[in-house]
Structure 1
Amino acid sequence: MIFCCGEALIDMIPEATATGVSGFVPHAGGAVFNTAIALGRLGCPTGFVTGLSDDLFGTQLAAALKDSGVDDAHVIRSHLPTTLAFVELNQGHARYTFYDENTAGRSLTPEQLPDLPDTVEALYFGGISLISEPCADFYAALALREAPTRLIVLDPNIRASFIRDEGRYRARLDRMIAVADLLKVSDEDLDWIFPGDESLEQKARQLCTAGPSAVLVTRGAEGATAVLASGARVDVPAKRVEIVDTVGAGDTFNAGVLASLFEAGVLSKARLPEIGEEALTGALAKGAQVAAVTVSRAGANPPWAREL
């Protein structure tokens, strides 16, 4: 089983009303939530760890998890409100404004760490939940606690404008990268982590030396690259589609990668270090395939396995 650990929120997506005035429509979202939904739709046994409100938006999020077959037994519920992310779309690309103070997701603390079932082989972390405190410390503590026996997958999905204390964030991220087995970053993430003129491959290999067995780098329309601690490199092109918007593209790419590794039987602490170029190429290709479907339609609406 794969457990996704991170934020669930409401994306307020702009949409024209009947009168022609722009309004916002609430869509279930959040980087880690999107990955969990996509994994569930791809047929992978998936669980979710987050803080979820009992307000109307929390009810919407819980219903979406259930509809996609995601186990929410380890969700931590409260009366605090749900995080809202207002989305501004510019030629299909999304910019976010977050309303996240004192919310159900952000207010998690390390004292609330859940006990996980033995069936969980991999944990996936990422998104703004790794920035906002105190929940960032909750997720870091969970990753460090589980790393000795379970596979840790990390996608920081860095939003620099959201970071208030860069030193604290970098220190926390370094601790999580050190225990990660599989790390995914965008080219923008990589340049933020390692400012400078080195190539993306050189920077990715620096991350490999920090702990991960493999580092995946997404490059938008240029495709994706993976480097292995063994020295191998794999490149896969992006699939060409007509883009409606890019909301959830990276999140569903991650789900495609994880689903492929799960199907290949290598998504475990023992097997991932032995991964070969063929399995990794197949994983990147499936990630690109799943992401291509998502960007071809509005919002973070990952495909079901039958659509691929």
Structure 2
Amino acid sequence: MSFLVIGECVADIVPAPAGSGAADRVHPGGSPANVAHGLGRLGRDVTLLTQLADDDAGRLIEARLRAAGVRVEVGERPPRTPSAVVGLDADGRAAYRFDIAWTLTGGAPAGPAPDHLHIGSIAAVTAPGAAAVLAETERLRAHATVSYDPNVRPALMGGHGAAVSRVERCVALSDVVKASDEDLAWLYPDEEPRAVAARWRGLGPALVLVTRGAAGSFALGRDHLVEAEALPAAVVDTVGAGDSFMSAVLDGLAGRGRDALGALGADDLDALLRRASAAAAVTVSRAGSQPPDRAELEAVLRGDALRSGRAR
């Protein structure tokens, strides 16, 4: 099964502590790029259509993706690779200050249409490049299933009402949608996550998943609502955890067409959440967005590999 991910790459810059004398750390990032990287680490056939500059950060990101088996199609070369300065709070939660533009104009690479398309984050809602992303989504969904993760970045979303409309358009084009409780709190500050998930389900997706950090996650299918606890993990930081969750969801759903996604039972959703939660737990246990490969993920699902330190 083939995957196409369309979206941004970002160099995540973690500043060194003041006065430490250490150098800032640079981690390859960007939510869509992280999802593609996670799928590649799990052995999936995946292509990323993105923008990267011919600079140190761009080369670092591209090399990491290719090392995981991701085919990288660079639509355009911007003057510099987008970046985000990452701040971590006492619990390892990340906040970002961005220097990014998204100006993609081209469509998917030549060749057979993918079996699944994933979109999300800045690239799906930021002009002018979002128009190309949505045009490709509308074209490809006739043959491919579609997933979407809004990965809300308030500083880049523009006016609130227009941002909500853009997000809901993406939701309506999708078969699988994943969002965090923080995403939903910004989009719909007066609504409970379950209510939003139910309303999004009514827009068209067969499956809506919501992550809630240490509080776990839930999945709402056409006939079932299933909740899962987060796996215990020693949190280093949360960078890329949601993207790792998304990659594992797509891996677990691989091969299911639109009709099959609509027929997922409670046991299917429970297994899917366990798989995705395990991937996220591995990711938060180490610095930066470092999702598990298939052997690491299966080891965690079999038992206590994460707590014993083997999932490294």
Counterpart amino acid of 1:42? Answer: L
Counterpart amino acid of 2:195? Answer: Q
Assess if the C-alpha contact under 8 Å between 2:210 and 2:219 holds in 1. Answer: yes
The equivalent residue for 2:209 is: 216
Describe the superposition over 1:209-260 as per-residue Cα deviations: whole angstroms up to 9, x where unpaired.
0111111011111111011123x11111100111011111101011111111
**Is 2:243 the counterpart of 1:247?**
no
Describe the superposition over 1:153-189 as per-residue Cα deviations: whole angstroms up to 9, x where unpaired.
0010112232223343222222211111111111122
The equivalent residue for 2:309 is: none
Alignment equivalent of 2:144, drawn from 145, 150, 165: 150
The equivalent residue for 1:42 is: 42
- Give the C-alpha shift of residue 82 in structure 1: 0.5
- Give the C-alpha shift of residue 290 in structure 1: 0.6
Alignment CA distance shift 1:172-1:199 (3 Å): closer
The equivalent residue for 1:281 is: 270
Find the residue that maps to 2:13 and give its secondary structure. Answer: strand
Find the residue that maps to 2:258 and give its secondary structure. Answer: coil
For 1:1-308, list aligned pairs within 5 A. 1-16=2-17, 20-21=20-21, 23-72=23-72, 74-78=73-77, 80-91=79-90, 92-101=92-101, 106-109=102-105, 112-115=106-109, 117-118=111-112, 120-196=114-190, 198-230=191-223, 232-262=224-254, 265-266=255-256, 268-308=257-297
Counterpart amino acid of 1:107? Answer: T
Find the residue that maps to 1:75 and give its secondary structure. Answer: strand
The CA RMSD measured in Å over matched residues stands at 1.9
Distance 1:79 1:29 in 2: 16
What are structure 2's unaligned runs of at least 5 residues?
298-312
Q: How many residues align?
A: 295
Distance 1:226 1:138 in 2: 30
Distance 2:145 2:185 in 1: 26
- Give the C-alpha shift of residue 270 in structure 1: 4.1
- Give the C-alpha shift of residue 288 in structure 1: 0.5
Assess if the C-alpha contact under 8 Å between 1:190 and 1:204 holds in 2. Answer: no
After superposing on structure 2, the runs of 4+ consecutive aligned residues of structure 1 that deviate more than 6 Å are: none
Counterpart amino acid of 1:135? Answer: G
- Give the C-alpha shift of residue 283 in structure 1: 1.4
Describe the superposition over 1:185-214 as per-residue Cα deviations: whole angstroms up to 9, x where unpaired.
111222333332x53222211110011111
Assess if the C-alpha contact under 8 Å between 1:261 and 1:279 holds in 2. Answer: no
Using structure 2 for the length normalisation, give the TM-score.
Answer: 0.88
Distance 2:252 2:69 in 1: 18
Distance 1:89 1:23 in 2: 16
Counterpart amino acid of 1:255? Answer: S
- Give the C-alpha shift of residue 123 in structure 1: 0.7
Distance 1:280 1:26 in 2: 36
Q: Which moved more, 1:180-189 or 1:244-253?
A: 180-189
Q: Identity, % of aligned pairs?
A: 35
Using structure 1 for the length normalisation, give the TM-score.
Answer: 0.89
What are structure 1's unaligned runs of at least 5 residues?
none
